[in-house]
Structure 1
Amino acid sequence: MNRRPFLNPPHRVGRWRRALLAALVTSAVVLPLSAAVRPQTPAPPPASLAPLSASTLDEAYAANRTNAAEAARTAAAHHDRARAATDRQLAGPGRELLHFDGRGSGLVTEVLGDLARADRVAVLVPGSDTSLDTYARFHAAAAALHRELTRQAPAGTRTAVVAWLGYETPATVSTTVTTTGRAEQAAPRLRALVTDLRAITRAGAHVSLLCHSYGSVVCGRSATGLAVDDIALVGSPGTGADTVAGLRTRARVWAARGADDWVEHVPHLSADLFGTTVGFGTDPVSPAFGARAFAAGDAGHSAYFRPGSASLTNLARIVLGETKAVTHD
């Protein structure tokens, strides 16, 4: 008698996959991966700045450009040509840096647009593998958003984009990318940035957080009571909260995932292992989470800010408050 090959029922396959994931993650936590560490190029400490406000903004920009130029000279003296080139670009006369720290993997907060006079401000919060060594692609995303905001903004509406590389992001292939640890370290810094923005911007300015990939975990850890108007999650593995209500924010929360984004296949689990929270909970684009889902087209994981894309168009509409124009899948 011919018999059909044995097939595991779907629920057993799901349990098997979850068990395998748990075993792999546990091994990663208990037995950390050893890898070659990139030699750290020295750099001067950050510039000393007066408290940020509209009146001190130009002074802060100038001090941080000077600091970046000094970091470039130090990197060149240590034969790190790539870092020196990045630092030199950031020290250019057209760059507006709210913060710069060339030490280690590097931190920088850059402004595109007239921040002090902006009616609408977007803060980009990056995900894994973002550092000074890869800053060019993050800057390109911020520049694409700024152009799209300028294109879509009604007459008289002024916009600004803040590219916030304000924390040490995890590597995509690492143990840290599966846990909330880096996000918890980053959260106070993101809150401090929003406090600074409220001191700099005009009264009533609308501030949106656009959080990509692991950056959405940072936004989730920062959201409680944060003085922002919208939080948009793209390519998110989760926020660490089970629902929008769990974020305890007054902001409107949005979520999107492109059809070609591999993060769709990341299991949406959360567990405490050896004092570390592994996984990020409910899928933000699922109805159970409760976010306002919007269309991202066929975006891959790194393509949400691609010019002409549905995701970039909708993100700009969210920032501009054109919520009725936001398209949905």
Structure 2
Amino acid sequence: MTNGSRIRRVRRTLLAGLVAAAVVIPVTAAASPDVPAPAPVVFAESATAQSRYAANLAGIGEAARTAQEAGRAGRAVKLRAMAAGSPGGDGAGARFLVFDGRGTGRAVEVFGDLGTADRVTVLVPGSDTTLDTYQRFRDGAVSLQRRLRAEHPSSAVVAWLGYDTPGTVSTTVLTTDRADRAAAELGPFLDRLRGMARPEVRVSLLCHSYGSVVCARTRTGPGVGDIVLYGSPGTGASSAAGLPTSARVWAGRGSEDWIGGVPHVRFGGVGFGTDPVDPAFGARIFAAGSAGHSDYLKPGTESLDSLAHIVIGSGSGSAGGPVSSVTGQEASHA
């Protein structure tokens, strides 16, 4: 196949996806109207984590009552479950740094103690993560926190649903527009988070699917030691060296992840370019086993072990677990 015919084929594939998305979007939008809720609590920069937890927990309760009164019983049930906390956590109850119940919603939940942790992991989700699907995101955070605490007790996990995620079948999932807006929120959040933690805390960003596009466009300071891209469609950048960070950049994909079949091209602002697990991208590769697209944080998986060892690792690239590096590609991130 010539280069010209290959480009034409890619264009047809992308256009077909856009046409399909254009048909689906009006249907899904009609089925999921915006949900009314009180405005989120506004905090002073000096507000403590504990004061944020208490105020946001009250806000979730008020949002549940508003949703119930508006005839959105399903949302009300899910909000009450959020407020009740997650079975299998550390028993301290639900702790939200951020909550906004309007529309598809936003939430930032903490598992563990930010004040004592010297390893803090921020999870950034991909498409179709909303308050209505929040439990699956929370389950992954709890699974990771359990795994980390078993080996490194002074750990905390932050589940960051701090942006409007695109739909899996939509035009927005094919561009960086939402990722650019999300990155503008995530960067300042990371700065504030460090202000709530120990001075020597090491922060890791674990970024799933479209969330990897967000992380790859987020400027991070020296406190972020690792950025991990998994289940990634690409980042919009041609190489790890082109990302706005000094952190080590990792990438992994399970053998059962369907996203490996997505064309890794970028044309006219559509698509995300180089595959992060391609040696040409220059990321350190971690072993993800047979993980499917939604399986990376499931208990007992090779991918979860690898992610935990990256977070716990001393920064040398040898975390004592099933992690491998791409030789000859790491100089800019070593």
TM-score, normalised with respect to structure 2: 0.88
Partner of 1:4: none
Where structure 1 has 5 or more consecutive residues not aligned to the other structure, the ranges are 1-8
Counterpart pick for 2:33 among 24, 36, 39:
39
Give the Cα–Cα distance (whole angstroms) in 1 for the partners of residues 211 and 61 of structure 2.
28
Partner of 1:5: none
Moved more, 244-253 or 219-228: 219-228
Partner of 2:68: 76
Partner of 2:329: none
| 1:294/1:327 contact within 8 Å kept | yes
Give the Cα–Cα distance (whole angstroms) in 1 for the partners of residues 101 and 14 of structure 2.
37
Give the Cα–Cα distance (whole angstroms) in 2 for the partners of residues 136 and 263 of structure 1.
22
Structure 2 residue matching 1:207: 3-state secondary structure = strand
Structure 1 residue matching 2:121: 3-state secondary structure = strand
Cα deviation for residue 27 of structure 1 reads 4.9
Cα deviation for residue 224 of structure 1 reads 5.5
Where structure 2 has 5 or more consecutive residues not aligned to the other structure, the ranges are 86-92, 325-334
What amino acid is aligned across from residue 279 of structure 2 in structure 1? P
What amino acid is aligned across from residue 320 of structure 1 in structure 2? I
* 1:39/1:266 CA distance change after superposition, 3 Å: same
Cα deviation for residue 30 of structure 1 reads 8.9
Give the Cα–Cα distance (whole angstroms) in 2 for the partners of residues 217 and 47 of structure 1.
28
Structure 1 residue matching 2:250: 3-state secondary structure = strand
What amino acid is aligned across from residue 206 of structure 2 in structure 1? L
Q: What aligned pairs does 1:1-329 form with structure 2 within 5 A after superposition?
A: 9=1, 14-15=6-7, 17-24=9-16, 27=19, 33-37=25-29, 38-52=32-46, 56-92=48-84, 94-153=93-152, 157-223=153-219, 225=221, 227-272=223-268, 277-321=269-313, 323-324=317-318, 325-328=320-323
| 1:127/1:169 contact within 8 Å kept | yes
Cα deviation for residue 225 of structure 1 reads 4.8
Partner of 2:88: none
Structure 1 residue matching 2:122: 3-state secondary structure = strand
Structure 2 residue matching 1:127: 3-state secondary structure = coil
Give the Cα–Cα distance (whole angstroms) in 2 for the partners of residues 186 and 226 of structure 1.
20
Cα deviation for residue 89 of structure 1 reads 2.4
Q: CA RMSD of the aligned region, Å?
A: 2.2
TM-score, normalised with respect to structure 1: 0.89
What amino acid is aligned across from residue 84 of structure 2 in structure 1? G
- Deviation track 1:10-38 (CA, whole Å, cap 9, x = no partner) reads 97874553132243356579999533421
Give the Cα–Cα distance (whole angstroms) in 1 for the partners of residues 222 and 236 of structure 2.
16
* 1:21/1:139 CA distance change after superposition, 3 Å: same
* 1:27/1:76 CA distance change after superposition, 3 Å: closer
Give the Cα–Cα distance (whole angstroms) in 1 for the partners of residues 323 and 197 of structure 2.
31
Partner of 2:90: none
- Quote the sequence identity (%): 51
Structure 1 residue matching 2:279: 3-state secondary structure = coil
Give the Cα–Cα distance (whole angstroms) in 2 for the partners of residues 144 and 45 of structure 1.
31
Give the Cα–Cα distance (whole angstroms) in 2 for the partners of residues 213 and 240 of structure 1.
13
